[in-house]
Amino acid sequence: MFIILAHGIKLGKTIGIISPAGCDDLEVINKKISDFENLGFNVKVGDHVFDKYGYLAGEDKERAYDLMNMFIDDEVDAIVCFRGGYGSARILPHLDLDIIKKHPKIFCGYSDITLILNYLYKKLGLVTFHGPMVKSDFSDFITRNSFFNAIMDKSCNYKIDLNSFDSVQIHNTKNISGNLVGGNLSIVCSSLGTPFEIDTKNKILFLEDVNEKIYSIDRMLTQLDLANKLKCCKGFILGNFTPNENDMKEYNFTLDELISQKILPLGKPTIINLPFGHEYPNITLPVGGAVKIDFKAGSITPVKKFVL
């Protein structure tokens, strides 16, 4: 696949802010946008970020319009979603891929945004970014630093030091290189059987989720396995799986036991507990970005720059 790399940005450049999924209260939006500006960026806010249509930030065509408008707008240097929630799937049929291909830009989000991230990479080869959103807590140094290193114009400095995270576990330590795909487990599963289905063949698959019961995580990993999405990938990176608070029954499996049943028997290089996703720190991962995982050095580094 031909890979499209957007141009990196510098402080002082303009970030387009959109809400492709859920809505939020006016005070929350204004406060978080102000905090984001204080990072050193100018911002341009989508027309419908403040809208509410049920649990959505505006009607489907309106949210899609905001996304398309930010790609077209020459004043906008990169696009960062305000929040996730639910609703990204509903706007995908309204996106014009030809226009996006002609105006490639950094596009960043996570959670429900997973679907858009992987779709733009799958269809266009555009490297997108699974990372913090405007509503995220950028006061967390690791979160902020990883975000900057991934999207700024010197993204060749991007590196994840596995040894810096005490909770990281490593299994089947064969060095691998490949393109990253994935994100939120439930959203990845929701794409199966649709035109927006994730492609994991010869890819490094990263997964995370929040507030799901163990049996739900079991069901979703089993679904991916039965859909042949696990056997065909090169390796795994597993992030935060924040447990459901009511899921503490004695007869449950632990998450570690589930991973031992579903992932490790595949014999693929696997990183567990890398901090990305719904908890902090939330490091930025390039969807479609080619990386090398060197287990001896304990590092994840780009095979080539993610942005020009």
Per-residue pLDDT averaged across 5-34, rounded?
95
Q: What b/e string do you get for 240-251 counting C-beta neighbours within 10 Å, with b at 16 or more?
A: bbebeeeeeeee
Active site includes 278? yes
Distance, CA of 125 to CA of 4 (rounded, Å): 5
Indicate whether 155 pLDDT > 60: no
Q: What average pLDDT does the chain have?
A: 94
Determine the pLDDT at residue 304.
80
Residue 142 CB partners (closer than 8 Å, separation 6+):
275, 280, 281, 283
Distance, CA of 19 to CA of 56 (rounded, Å): 9
The identity of residue 238, as a single letter, is: L
Determine the pLDDT at residue 154.
61
Query: Which member of 62, 146, 186, 278 is catalytic?
Result: 278
Q: In 3-state terms, what secondary structure has residue 300?
A: strand
For 132, list phi and psi in degrees, rounded to 5: -60, 155
Structural domains in the chain, CATH included, are 14-156 (3.40.50.10740), 160-302 (3.50.30.60)
Q: How confident is the model at residue 260 (pLDDT cuts 50, 70, 90)?
A: very high
Distance, CA of 190 to CA of 113 (rounded, Å): 12
Q: Which of 210, 215, 153, 161 is nearest to 186 (CA)?
A: 210
The string of DSSP letters for 154-165 reads TGGG--EEGGG-
Q: How confident is the model at residue 1 (pLDDT cuts 50, 70, 90)?
A: low
Question: pLDDT digits over 175-228, tens only?
Answer: 999 999 999 999 999 999 999 999 999 999 999 999 999 999 999 999 999 999
Active site includes 34? no
Query: Which member of 48, 155, 208, 212 is catalytic?
Result: 208
pLDDT cut 70: percent of the chain above it: 97
pTM of the model: 0.96
Query: Which member of 88, 111, 136, 146 is catalytic?
Result: 111
Per-residue pLDDT averaged across 97-103, rounded?
96
Active site includes 111? yes
Helix 214-226 vs helix 255-262: crossing angle, to nearest 10: 10
Determine the pLDDT at residue 251.
76
Question: pLDDT digits over 9-18, tens only?
Answer: 999 999 999 9
pLDDT greater at residue 160 or residue 7: 160
Taking every pair of Cα atoms in the chain, the longest distance, rounded to a whole number of angstroms, is 56
Residue 147 CB partners (closer than 8 Å, separation 6+):
108, 131, 132, 138, 284
